[in-house]
Structure 1
Amino acid sequence: MGIFDEIKKKLSHEFIDIIEWLDYTDDTIVHRFERYQNEIKNGAQLIVREGQTAVFINEGQLADIFTPGTHTLSTQNLPILTTLKGWKHGFNSPFKAEVYFVNTHLFTNEKWGTKNPITLNDDRFGLVEIRAFGTYAFKINDAGKFVVDIVGTDANFTNFEINEHLKSLISTRFTDTIGEANLPIELYAANTSELSDTCLEVMQHEFNSVGISLEKFFIENVSMPEELKKEIFEYSRIDKLDLDKLTKFKTAKAIEAAAANEGGTAGAGMGMGMGFVLAQQMGGMMNPMTGQQPIQPQQTTPLAPPPMPVQVQYFYAQNGQQAGPASFDQLKVLFANRTINKDSLIWKQGMSNWTALKDIEELKSFLGGNTPPPLPGI
């Protein structure tokens, strides 16, 4: 072999066309390989690393796709591009094509959240608003579809550009899923794991339609206004307590608060009243110590008090089951706390059938706005 052949061989090795992309970022999804006039030589070396896919685009049309490995570009491994170019017997001169490198690794810890509150209709609390936020992870599972449908001619496509679209999609589908779940409002925060799995399944199809696989979806928090949260806590406590005991407890607290308010008239009166009672009790305790008998009031024939009125007991329907009995005052508390409503079925002794609360005369006062009938003769 002559010296010129050796030089020619050496030069041919030194000037082999190499197409590759080294990603030094953590947010690039697609990078277009830049080449003057997009010319690629026959026999060029294409290097696709793990976590990458190379996509060839010819005049806006999707051509060949290469997975990780080293590929020598020729008509044998460019079948689609060969057909589009019309190479019947191979090619020798440089050809033009755009090469896009697609990152196929997992993009993690992407944030999502509801931009506006989600309005739900709860059976006990009426219309309520909640917000939610969390994270998700995705990767490209169809590089060709993603480049054609989403990237277009963008030379450097980042996850920031796709995240806005994905977050809008997530927010919409999350709202639909939450509405269809129809859970009591306090259970949304307690079932984030189950809701996350359901949302992942619902959203997967739409992500796949643009070449993306939604790998993970997490709901980290479901929040509600503070006043609604306090109302739910209060309702939960009342639901667990005996209403009669609760009424007595609150009455005792009110008496204690009134007695402590010495600056007010009611507090002073309460204080004097309690003072008289204490004085009498102390006097009774002191008399045995001094040997003196307490002054007894003149004995009179005691009058028999009238019999105590019988308190009407009501039964009510809750979640398809009978509950009760409850007194009139207890029933009023249940209505105020939205445990029952105007359409709840009520029964008491003497009634032949269960009747809606709004149709029982003595219970209409719960509804408010009652107007007495006109006076006779007017």
Structure 2
Amino acid sequence: MGLFDFIKGQLIEVIEWLDDRGIMVYRFPAHDNAIKMGAKLIVRESQAALFVNEGQLTDVFGPGTHTLSTQNLPVLTTLNSWKYGFNSPFKSDVYFVSTANFTDLKWGTMNPVIIRDPEFGMIRVRGFGTYAVKVGDPALFLKEIFGTKQELTTAAITGYLKSMIVSSLSDLIGEAKVSVADLASSYDELGKLAIDKLQPRFAALGLTLSGVTIENISLPDEVEKMIDKRSSMNIAGNLDQYMKFQTAEAIRDAANQPDGGIAGTGAGLGAGMAMGQMMAQMLNQTAARAAEAGQPQPAQQQPPAPPAGGSQPSTGKKFCSECGSKLAENVKFCSECGSKI
């Protein structure tokens, strides 16, 4: 093999990129190999190929198969002064840019965001979700983001993009003045507003924000517990009826456990006492309502009067103070001398 054949074998004749693996920009590994004039450039759908000569972006190719010549490399031809279509090898850096949608990119708040809620006041919230992005302007993206790297993956820029999304959503939630309790019904609307607000900032980087999804906006644990208690009270409704039901349930459970030991007996006694107190309160409430309505109150029963001259409870004396005879129990007069005790 002669020298000419060796040199010809080093020339690049086919330029293409197949592997993506989440790569946004890939630099074709030409190294010092020259590109043959007339070589085939294969650009697949959702790709763009960019030629850079001596640090200057020259030509951009869309999907399709292109034969490289002075006709379809106008900028590169001008820079190399190929005025007459001279068929010679040339050196140029070739970059493939993926223009497909990169989906399922995660965003989330690293620290709680403080907002002023119209119902709960100042509270801290956290949120997370996903977003999708794609390269809208390959040339601008190459200039603003890529630089001179060998390749660029989504992981290299998602930190910056995530911070922009979190900042925008925090601002939108604060401006919306929607209670956190009602935010779940506004996730879609907030996502669309975030896209409209962030699109100019993404476009300045050569990117297009395809979608923003809010999966959840959560409150601190202590606030969620208070909301749960408040919900339980609302569900209970009439607290008086609720307490009656709870007491009846406790008494039933205690009755169903006769061998529960001291603990079960104590629980049953406690439930019984609670039931008694509740019944007393109910009677008092019934009497109060009757008094307000002007109904006559039931007369309170008085202890029966003792019969005249009959027995009276003992005064504590065991012997008659007149004659000294022993007194019978519950006797008011001495049975011997008749004296009044």
Q: CA deviation at 1:238?
A: 5.6
Q: 1:343-364 CA deviation, whole Å, 9 max, x = no partner?
A: xxxxxxxxxxxxxxxxxxxxxx
Q: How many residues align?
A: 269
Q: 1:27-82 CA deviation, whole Å, 9 max, x = no partner?
A: 11111111132632222221112221101112222211001111122221111222
Letter of the structure 1 residue corresponding to residue 302 of structure 2: P
Cα pair 1:18 1:47 within 8 Å, conserved: no
Cα pair 1:75 1:90 within 8 Å, conserved: yes
Match of 1:178 among 148, 173, 176: 173
Letter of the structure 1 residue corresponding to residue 213 of structure 2: F
Q: Which residue of 2 aligns with 1:48?
A: 43
Q: CA deviation at 1:183?
A: 0.6
Cα pair 2:41 2:68 within 8 Å, conserved: yes
Question: C-alpha distance in 2, partners of 1:272/1:137?
Answer: 61
Q: 1:106-160 CA deviation, whole Å, 9 max, x = no partner?
A: 2121111111111111233221111111111221111111111111111111111
Q: Which residue of 2 aligns with 1:28?
A: 23
Question: C-alpha distance in 1, partners of 2:62/2:271?
Answer: 89
Question: C-alpha distance in 1, partners of 2:128/2:121?
Answer: 23
Unpaired runs of 5+ residues, structure 1, are 1-9, 278-294, 300-378
Q: CA deviation at 1:100?
A: 0.1
Identity of matched residues, %: 42
TM-score normalised per structure 2: 0.67
Q: Which residue of 1 aligns with 2:294?
A: none
Q: Which residue of 2 aligns with 1:60?
A: 55
Question: C-alpha distance in 1, partners of 2:138/2:118?
Answer: 47
Paired residue secondary structure (1:96) = coil
Question: C-alpha distance in 1, partners of 2:162/2:146?
Answer: 17
1:104 aligns with 2:99: yes
Letter of the structure 1 residue corresponding to residue 165 of structure 2: I
Unpaired runs of 5+ residues, structure 2, are 255-262, 281-299, 305-341
Q: Which residue of 2 aligns with 1:113?
A: 108
Question: C-alpha distance in 2, partners of 1:222/1:296?
Answer: 65
1:297 aligns with 2:302: yes
Match of 2:186 among 182, 191, 195: 191
Q: CA, structure 1 residues 253+124, in 2 after alignment: closer, same or farther (shift >3 Å)?
A: farther
Cα pair 1:189 1:223 within 8 Å, conserved: no
Match of 1:130 among 110, 125, 128: 125
Q: Which residue of 2 aligns with 1:200?
A: 195
Letter of the structure 2 residue corresponding to residue 297 of structure 1: Q
Q: CA deviation at 1:257?
A: 11
Question: C-alpha distance in 2, partners of 1:164/1:276?
Answer: 65
Q: Indicate the RMSD between aligned Cα atoms, in angstroms.
A: 3.8
Question: C-alpha distance in 2, partners of 1:274/1:47?
Answer: 88
Q: Which residue of 2 aligns with 1:217?
A: 212
Q: CA, structure 1 residues 70+241, in 2 after alignment: closer, same or farther (shift >3 Å)?
A: same
Question: C-alpha distance in 2, partners of 1:275/1:208?
Answer: 69
Paired residue secondary structure (1:43) = strand
Q: Which residue of 2 aligns with 1:339?
A: none
Question: C-alpha distance in 1, partners of 2:279/2:20?
Answer: 84
1:139 aligns with 2:144: no
Paired residue secondary structure (1:231) = helix
